[in-house]
Structures are given as C-alpha cells and as structure tokens.
Homo-oligomer: A and B are copies of this chain.
C-alpha cells in the first residue's frame, strides 16, 4: 500500500492530466511537447510524465476524442499536432462535472475537519 515511513500526502486527483489536456486542446490545437510544458500551471503538478502523456494522447485518439496530424514544413523535429473533436469536448464537460463533485467532497471533508 504505502511503504513504511513514507506518508507523504499529496491528495492528487486521479488522471488529472487528462482533463487538463482536453482543456488546453479546446483552447487551441497543440503538439505533445507543447502540452507537456503547459500542463504544470493548470494541474499544480511540478511536472507531468512525458512517456505517459504521449500514451494518453494516443489513447484519446484511438477513441476519437482527439485527432492528430504530422506538422509539415516547420523547422526542428517533426511535430504531431492534436486537435479536439466534439466527442472530446463532451468528455471534457464530463470531467468538469466530476471535478465539481470531487471539490464538493473535499469541502465536506474540510468543513468536518474544521469542526463545522
């Protein structure tokens, strides 16, 4: 469960980088590396694992939540640019609703913690 002596608590939301990706892509199309750098201020995480980030993007694409194309004609390494689909937008809405519920549970907890 937890290794002894390591009770560092972070209280993170599971798969929070996923809605964060969708929100960034709703604002504008972007490629993976760009998203990687834009995520931390949105999630509050110091950094997001790049390996898993690319895996999530491809999983999202498999299910038609985003589409991608290789960006041609630009200098530097090839970039795969992602764009949000309408299905992806719906999923983002679901995430927002789930996050509101989650925040309410945290508030319930904190109210009780503070003795109210």
Contacts and interface: CB of A to CB of B under 8 A. Distances in A.
A113 B22 CA distance: 10
B10 A113 contact: no
Contacts of A1: 52, 55-56, 59
A15 to B, nearest CB: 8
Contacts of A74: none
Given A1-B55, A23-B113, A62-B4, A9 B94 contact: yes
Interface string A77-97: 000000000000001101110
A99 B103 contact: no
A77 to B, nearest CB: 24
Contact of A112 (B7, B42, B113): B42
Interface of A: 1-2, 4-5, 7, 9-16, 18-20, 23, 42-44, 52, 55-56, 59, 62-63, 65, 91-92, 94-96, 98-110, 112-113
5 contacts: A7-B63, A7-B65, A10-B102, A11-B13, A11-B14
